[in-house]
Amino acid sequence: MVVCVCNAIRERDVRAAARGGASSACQAYRALGRQAKCGQCVPFARAIIDAERAAA
């Protein structure tokens, strides 16, 4: 599933960044070499990161 249309970031990318230590959407995007643009995706990215951290 696409999380960020602006940056073509997929859910699996955000999950991988969270497993790599990213604790916020901005950190995850930086880990992927990108940054949030319009910001519409940030709440969804946060939810994915929270889920990954809870599962760890």
pLDDT in tens, 5-50: 999 999 999 999 999 999 999 999 999 999 889 999 999 999 999 9
The structure tokens listed for 14 are 């955000």
The structure tokens listed for 46 are 């946060």
Q: For the whole model, what pTM was predicted?
A: 0.90
pLDDT for position 24? 95
Residue 56 has pLDDT above 80, yes or no: no
CB 41 within 8 A of CB 9: yes
